[in-house]
Structure 1
Amino acid sequence: ERASTASQKRKVVVIGTEATISSQAYRKALEARGVQAKEKACPLLVPLVEEGWTEHLVTEQVARIYLDEAFQDSFKSADVLVLGCTHYPLLKPLLRRVAPAHVTIVDSAESTAGVVGELLRVTPVSTSTEDERRRMPRMKFFATDSVEKFRSLGMRFLGHAIEDVWHVDLEE
């Protein structure tokens, strides 16, 4: 919804993983709101983020290639870029430099979290009393890849250490 309200030109570019883009979920949702959408799969960005290369020259070059391809032809005038992957917010400063200057960047995860937070009326942990924090749900994380890599990446996303991370083998 934020992407559709942010777009004056009614043209939006969405970047995401192959799976996200092949679902066409963003395109369908935007078109239902009268906004043209061009979806672009950017499969190399996730491994670069997971490697910690969020400000690396290679990542910038890859992002530039993807965005040049996305913002061409009739979508040269698109005025919103939707980050359709949970890894991409870590690339926001880099994407801001690479995207056309007139483009607004919309973080779909941030928008969704804001709506969910409002719906659940969650009190931020930083403003909660000690008693409220004890009653809050405890988070457990499950990873199919390296637990240490998950902890490291999770800390970058959440801004604090995460503890309960368990490895899961999906073939068992």
Structure 2
Amino acid sequence: MDKNNPIGVFDSGVGGSSIWQEIHRLLPLENIIYLADSKNAPYGNKSPEEITALSIKNTQKLLELNCKIIVVACNTATTNAIITLRKKYKLPIIGIEPAIKPAALKTKSKSIGILATKGTLSSALFSKTNKEFTKDISVVEVIGEGLVPLIEAGNLDGQEMVELLKKHTKKMIEANVDYVVLGCSHYPYIIPTLKKILPKHVEIIDSGEAVARQTKTVLHNLNQLREDTSKPRLAFFTNAETNTLKFLLHDYLNKISIEKMDF
């Protein structure tokens, strides 16, 4: 495998671009190809079989584009499909799971909230992680119904988003949570809106930085970190409209390309 080959990233839509930002920040020399499967978003309300089939389709496309490692920047795809992907493909595959462990270790109120998709919360992998780290802790699980379509439409802080988040966080606030774990890569984009709704002492945790660190560690251990200091290729492909990606990544528009592609 050539060190110059790109890192491949895929998500059920634009949300995984929050993970992309963390990877690019930690590995600024790396070529990265991102697939936004917005045509099939959200994955959270699909069956495990559908989620696995879509994850295989995305992985195949990234392999065709010569990626050296694949980051599944989608909690629902990780919790439902990563075991199958790792059995099927030889290259390293990094997943993303809700950061339950740090929240469980740090909580003082012994009560944490998890905001995630139905697909993540109902998965076997999530259940295993949850049981492992939250034995003496109260966990308020909330399905973020309706959040992904709003984020895909670029509505991060409108009235509809605010009302939805108030509804979703009500049980968490009543349970006196002091940590809220985000279990969907779309959700970091609504952290500023969430902060206005949650009590000041509540900390919000997402998994982006941990995924970036793991990606760097795996590439380093395989001696696959790019050493070429020329400008990296940062390409985004979506099978829906490009406007939301342009909106979310406006700070990077001078160094990335965003194109529509069928996959």
TM-score, reference length from structure 2:
0.50
Q: Deviations over 1:87-110 (max 9, x none)?
A: 111111110111133311001233
Aligned residues: 154
C-alpha distance in 2 between matches for 1:25 and 1:91: 25
- Measured on the aligned residues, the alpha-carbon RMSD in Å equals 2.8
Pairwise CA distance, 1:153? 4.8
Partner of 1:124: none
Query: What 5-or-longer segments of structure 1 have no aligned partner?
Result: 122-127
Shift of residue 164, structure 1, vs aligned partner: 5.0
Distance 1:160 1:63, change over 3 A: same
Deviation at 1:38, TM superposition (A): 2.5
Q: Deviations over 1:85-132 (max 9, x none)?
A: 1111111111011113331100123333244335545xxxxxx99x42
- In the TM superposition, what whole-angstrom CA distance separates every residue of 1:33-89 from its partner, at most 9, and x where no partner exists? 2344332111211122222221212211110111003444xxx12211011111111
> Cα distance, 1:27 vs. partner?
4.8
Q: Secondary structure at the match of 2:201?
A: coil
Partners of 1:109 and 1:64 in 2: how far apart?
A: 24
Superposition misfits of 4+ residues, deviation over 6 angstroms? none
Higher normalized helix content (fraction of residues): 1
Give the alignment of 1:74-89 within 5 angstroms.
Answer: 76-89=175-188
Which amino acid in 2 is paired with 1:149? N
- Alignment equivalent of 1:4, drawn from 104, 125, 129: 104
Q: In structure 1, what is the equivalent of residue 189 of structure 2? A: 90
User: What is aligned with 1:168?
Assistant: 262
Quickly say closer, same or farther: Cα 1:94–1:81, change in 2 above 3 A.
Answer: same
- Deviation track 1:5-36 (CA, whole Å, cap 9, x = no partner) reads 33223332111222222226445313312344
The answer as to 2:159 corresponding to 1:57 is yes
Amino acid at match of 1:84: G
Gaps of 5+ in 2: 1-100, 221-225
- Considering Cα pairs closer than 8 Å and 6+ residues apart, tell me whether 1 or 2 has the greater RCO: 2
CA pair 92-143 structure 1, distance change in 2 beyond 3 A:
same
Judged with a 3 Å threshold, the aligned counterparts in structure 2 of structure 1 residues 164 and 53 are, in CA distance, closer, same or farther, namely closer
Alignment partner of 2:240: what SS? coil
Q: TM-score, normalised by structure 1?
A: 0.72
